[in-house]
Structure 1
Amino acid sequence: MTRTYLKKATPVTATATTSSPVDVPAIVRSVIDDIRRDGDAAVRTYSVKFDKWSPASFKLSAAEIDDIVATVPQQTLNDIRTVQANVRRFAEAQRESLKDFEIETSPGVFLGQRNNPVQSVGAYVPGGRYPLLASAHMTVVTAKVAGVPHVVGCTPPIRGEIPKATVAALHLAGADEIFILGGVQAVAAMAVGTQTMRKVDFLAGPGNAFVAEAKRQLFGEVGIDLFAGPTEVLIVADDKADPFVVATDLLSQAEHGPDSPAVLITTSEDVGLKTMAYCDEQLKTLCTADIAGVSWGNLGEVVLAKDLDEAYRIADEYAFEHVQILTENPREALDKMSHYGALFLGAQTCVSYGDKCIGTNHVLPTRGAARYTGGLWVGKFLRTVTYQEVRNAEASGELGRLCGRAARAELFEGHARSGDLRAHDHLGDDHDWIKR
């Protein structure tokens, strides 16, 4: 598809100063191996190395949690409770949409489905550049609604201090244990277990490149929510869109990090040009311009489409994490688009609502993963399992005959004999190999 760019991304390429890039997979592999071998001792070594953090215990006691929460401003606590209520309400609706059932497929043959929660989850809440306490809502609250009995929360110290609001968010969300521990050492400790941290079955939560790589390497040993990359935002706008709103919302996501792409697809050249001008103007006063300006400058794009149908097709090609629709009829995108992590419809709805407070989950697919998966939701913490029961002897015999024929077509004689035996016992079929 031919595209007309009013602004095209110009990603920074490696230079002489970056000719020896950090080997993230190798570093992560080494940390995981050390923690697997040396447990808590290795965790402490890496916590000192990466975070300069070595408390008597990484795990907070109940008394310490109470003392920390007591120092958080009441308005912040009230807001945490309100946001978590929104997340919980939506997660509960998701859980109610997943039904256990049992059906009788033929006389005497019963097949069923159960949705059983994962038994233990490790929730990672980042805290490097920003204290992302909203991630506590998205991971812990959702896991608890799913019925997970034990959730461990890990969050790093920030500049040598305990992130008090994040601890409050983890506690109010229902975390059963809270550790002030960050990075690969936290993820690895939760995944493999140590002397003081029980091994979990599932890891959830966003993080930097090292955390993402740790989850990738540990996947299989434990389950994970997503292979998450840098935050992405894409806006589809028509000629009725307000360029000032478009610019504001693009920069709101660009401030996540210098590697966060922000894309506008518009049917109006005027909207595109004015949006670019407003971005330049707003960056003069935005306190996070040192980050947002880099991502907008290097990775920002403005694409001109001939009509909205083409705009939606281009947007689907990007398959971005966040897609915002600023058009006269925004709900049209529900039918026109397929590939997105979350859709935000109309000027009264912004991506920041999804990030911080509206109730849908903000852990979403990036780097094109929206083509094959959705984001974190209550179903990620559930295992949909099946069961079977044949209560009718004649039905068991008939299934045995079918099984025998089907298995021998695939040359599985042992499978066939399991079927033969039921056909013999319940229908009287004669088989030479059956000699009790």
Structure 2
Amino acid sequence: MASTYLKQRTVDNDAVTSIQASDQVSQTVKGVIDHIRRDGDSAVRQYSEKFDKWSPQSFKLSDSDIEDIMSKVPDQVIKDIKKVQSNVRKFAEAQKNSLSELELEIEPGVFLGHKNVPIQNVGAYIPGGRYPLLASAHMTIVTAKVAGVPNVIACTPPIMGRIPHATIAAMYLAGADEIFILGGVQAVAAMAVGTDTIRKVDFIAGPGNAFVAEAKRQLFGEVGIDLFAGPTEVLIVADHKADPFTCATDLLSQAEHGPDTPAILITTSTEVAKKTIAHVDELLKILPTAELAGTSWSKFGEVVVVEDLEKAYTLADVYASEHVQILTENPREALVKMKNYGALFLGDRTCVSYGDKCIGTNHVLPTRGAARYTGGLWVGKYLRTCTYQIVEDDKASGELGLLCGRAARVENFEGHARSGDLRAHRFLGTEFDWIKEGNYQSNGHAV
């Protein structure tokens, strides 16, 4: 039986791309970046006034500002933030502990190694807009601090002209060293290029709207970034035993992110497929975020019936979705069968929303098929694996010099070859026409 589409998207992938990175968005973002690069803080203030109606004396929160804000956040919210951040921290620490530094003596006197060195300055962007994403503070800042990043600058926009207290609490408790009430392209650009009041960073992490995503794309190379972000995606693989109401609920839980979220069901059961569609239609009548979720479902929702789970996993790998939820009798099977996904959510006791909000894995994940070649944000993204080498034996250095000379001359790199020749001459006594005695001083040591 071939795959049967009971519901197909009405907008193709190219259209998604054009929505997110249109020429108009690109040009607008470029103009803002160029202006901030040229005029610094005055340009930042101009765009904050224009886009957010926000122009305080200082965008940076003082210690007393933060203390006052923290006092206004309900105790239960603080407790929940601390609990979620504890989960994120535990998992990030376990990830870091799985990484090893090494030093290997590949032959007598020749040592090769690597160290995991934290990025020194990181910028974390915490979105506001229609949703104040507290969880993004946990994912970006806590993880950076676990990696050992000494300086984390965090920016978040005002919401309707007001400071988002709970978001600030999350940023502060996560360990941000400086907190700015600043949003959009102006925040990303200021962190990337640096101004008189905002420290230049080496790496920027965190999700955002199309303008923020485009700013990160344009600035990549000048700074590192976590991922090229696209709309949130969810894909469910379900067998005949899956509950259609659960499928529908979990599809809509992600569709509410925005009007362009792909929400896909691949199932082996026609009955599960039809009932899921019916439940989605009914749930949209009562969902407070139905305007967004319904638009995504209408334009980007898909329901596919396949012959068996092997074909379901194969098709799911083609999509390479950001979030893949497995609602099958044996969900752990997907760990073996599937290869392309941002994150797996196994079994009906698990849901994508847990990953988004509280369970402890990172919710900054690859979209638009990028799961074929990269994973999501994790503690390792904030670490640079840097190699080193040292030759402590005269004979070993001389022999490497001979090998280097031969290898380099095959490639016509005479300068490289002569660096090797010099060591061969110094430590083995090998003669070379271009080396004359007295041309160098030797202390008799390799280093």
Could you say which TM-score interval applies, normalised by the shorter chain? Answer: over 0.9
Contact between 2:2 and 2:306, CA under 8 Å: does it hold in 1? Answer: no
- Decide whether the 8 Å contact of 2:3 with 2:305 is kept in 1: yes
Structure 1 Cα separation of the partners of residues 252 and 11 of structure 2: 17
Output one character per residue of 1:192-219: Cα deviation in whole Å (capped at 9) or x when no partner: 0011001000000000000000000000
| Counterpart position of 2:135 | 134
1:211 corresponds to which residue?
A: 212
Please state how far the C-alpha of 1:56 moved relative to its aligned partner: 1.1
Q: Is residue 93 of structure 1 aligned with residue 94 of structure 2?
A: yes
Structure 2 residue aligned with 1:332: 333
The CA deviation at 1:428 is 1.0
Q: Which runs of 4+ in 1 moved over 2 A?
A: none
1:423 and 1:297 mapped to 2: Cα distance? Answer: 71
Deviation of 1:365 (Å): 0.2
Question: What CA deviation, in whole Å up to 9, does each residue of 1:252-294 have, x standing for no partner?
Answer: 0000000011000000000000000000011111100011011
CA 1:399 to 1:59, structure 2 compared with 1: closer, same or farther past 3 Å? same
Distance 1:80 1:99 in 2: 30
Contact 2:88 2:362 in 1 (8 A): yes
> What amino acid is aligned across from residue 246 of structure 1 in structure 2?
C
- The answer to whether residue 33 in structure 2 is matched with residue 6 in structure 1 is no
Residue 51 of structure 1 corresponds to: 52
Aligned to 2:445: none
2:158–2:164 CA contact under 8 A, matched in 1: yes
Secondary structure of 1:191's partner? helix
Partner residue in 2 for 1:346: 347
Counterpart in the other structure of 2:181: 180
Separation in 2 of the partners of 1:127 and 1:198?
22
Question: How do residues 5-44 of structure 1 correspond to structure 2 at under 5 angstroms?
Answer: 5-11=5-11, 23-44=24-45
> Match for 1:122: what amino acid?
G
Task: Give the structure-2-normalised TM-score.
Answer: 0.95
- Distance between the aligned counterparts of 1:324 and 1:240, measured in 2? 14
Counterpart AA for 2:278: A
Q: Is the 8 A contact 2:251 2:264 kept in 1?
A: yes
Shift of 1:3: 3.0
Residue 178 of structure 1: CA displacement? 0.3
The equivalences for 1:215-230 within 5 A come to 215-230=216-231
CA distance in 1, matches of 2:322, 2:284: 23
Amino acid at match of 1:360: T
Q: Aligned equivalents of 2:426 and 2:413: distance in 1?
A: 21
Structure-1 separation of matches of 2:4 and 2:403: 60
* Deviation string, structure 1 residues 148-196 (Cα, Å, up to 9, x no partner): 0000000000111100000000000000000000000000000000110
User: Would the aligned equivalents of 2:2 and 2:307 in 1 still touch at CA under 8 Å?
Assistant: no
- Is the Cα contact below 8 Å between 2:3 and 2:307 reproduced in 1? no
Q: Secondary structure at the match of 2:172?
A: helix
**How many angstroms apart in 2 are the aligned matches of 1:29 and 1:61?**
31
Residue in structure 1 matched with residue 119 of structure 2 by the alignment: 118
- Structure 2, unpaired ranges of 5+: 440-447
Secondary structure, counterpart of 1:348 in structure 2? coil
Give the Cα–Cα distance (whole angstroms) in 2 for the partners of residues 226 and 92 of structure 1.
21
Q: How do 1:277-316 residues align onto structure 2 when only pairs under 5 Å count?
A: 277-316=278-317
Corresponding residue number in structure 1 for 2:392: 391
Give me the whole-angstrom Cα distance separating, in 1, the residues matched to 2:398 and 2:112. Answer: 17
CA distance in 2 between counterparts of 1:209 and 1:350 reads 26
Query: Counterpart in 2 of 1:148?
Result: 149
Superposed CA offset, 1:35-74 (max 9, x none): 0001010001000111111111110000000100110000
Structure 2 SS opposite 1:230: coil
**What displacement does 1:2 show?**
5.2
**1:345-388 deviation per Cα after TM superposition (whole angstroms, max 9, x unaligned):** 00000000000000000000000000010000000000000000
Letter of the 1:5 counterpart:
Y
Aligned partners of 1:298 and 1:217: how far apart in 2? 28
Give distance in 1, aligned partners of 2:392 and 2:306: 61
- The amino acid that maps onto 1:4 is T
CA distance, structure 1, for counterparts of residue 6 and residue 435 of structure 2 = 77
> Matches of 1:105 and 1:312 in 2, distance apart?
43
1:242-321 aligned within 5 A: 242-321=243-322
Matched, 1:357 2:375: no
Count of matched residue pairs: 431
Q: Which amino acid aligns with 1:6?
A: L
- TM-superposed deviation, 1:297: 1.0
Aligned to 2:368: 367
